[in-house]
């Protein structure tokens, strides 16, 4: 869910669109021709093909849940947030500095995912919490061959970002 979503720009039918009222990027499946241009344009790998329906799919932020006034306020969250066993996912309005999620991002130093892409994603990633215990020693680590010389894509960005954090 980017402020400047390239998946929307490249869609030849307009099936990929950004809602004006909240900025959520969605796919109108009845207009989608399954060409895959949106998946090609998305630097985050957030698009996938539904082979049965022959259309592109992506996270909807459970838009039907978050605006459902029949649900109690605490249940108006995406399913991934509600069911995360570690409580690692948070949801809220980042444009409201008084919201719980805004305070959490300010406190922990939320990071924009791959800012060099220029898409201005509306979500933030929190750096790992410092550990109180010494890390476990991995006895097999010296014998494992690296899969790649340098990580690329999302893993490369994550590696560089975590390295900067110390």
pLDDT at 147: 65
What are the structural domain ranges in the chain?
6-57, 63-117
CA–CA distance, 55 with 49 (Å, rounded to integer):
6
Q: Are strands 48-50 and 55-57 parallel, antiparallel or unpaired?
A: antiparallel
In tens, the pLDDT along 133-163 reads: 666 667 777 677 766 677 777 778 888 888 8
The lowest-confidence range among 2-6, 117-121, 137-141 is 137-141
- For the four alpha carbons of 50, 55, 58 and 62, in that order, the dihedral sign comes to negative
Q: Are 48 and 30 in contact (CB under 8 A)?
A: no
Q: What fold does the segment set 6-57 form as a domain?
A: Alpha-Beta Plaits (3.30.70)
Nearest residue to 25 (alpha-carbon basis) of 14, 34, 36: 14
- Give the chain's mean pLDDT: 89
- Its pTM stands at 0.73
In tens, the pLDDT along 35-82 reads: 999 999 999 999 999 999 999 999 999 999 999 999 999 899 999 999
């Amino acid at each position: 869910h980017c402020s400047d979503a390239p998946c929307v720009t490249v869609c030849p039918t307009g099936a990929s669109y950004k809602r004006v009222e909240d900025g959520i990027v969605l796919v109108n499946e009845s207009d989608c021709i399954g060409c895959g241009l949106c998946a090609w344009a998305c630097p985050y790998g957030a698009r996938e093909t539904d082979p049965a329906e022959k259309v592109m799919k992506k996270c909807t932020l459970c838009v039907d849940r978050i605006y459902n006034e029949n649900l109690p306020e605490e249940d108006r969250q995406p399913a991934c947030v509600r069911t995360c066993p570690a409580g690692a996912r948070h949801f809220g309005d980042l444009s409201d500095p008084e919201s719980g999620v805004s305070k959490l991002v300010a406190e922990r130093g939320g990071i924009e995912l791959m800012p060099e892409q220029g898409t201005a994603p509306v979500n933030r990633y929190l750096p790992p919490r410092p550990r109180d215990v010494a890390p476990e020693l991995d006895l097999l680590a010296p014998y494992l061959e690296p899969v790649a010389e340098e990580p690329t894509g999302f893993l490369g960005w994550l590696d560089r970002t975590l390295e900067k954090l110390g």
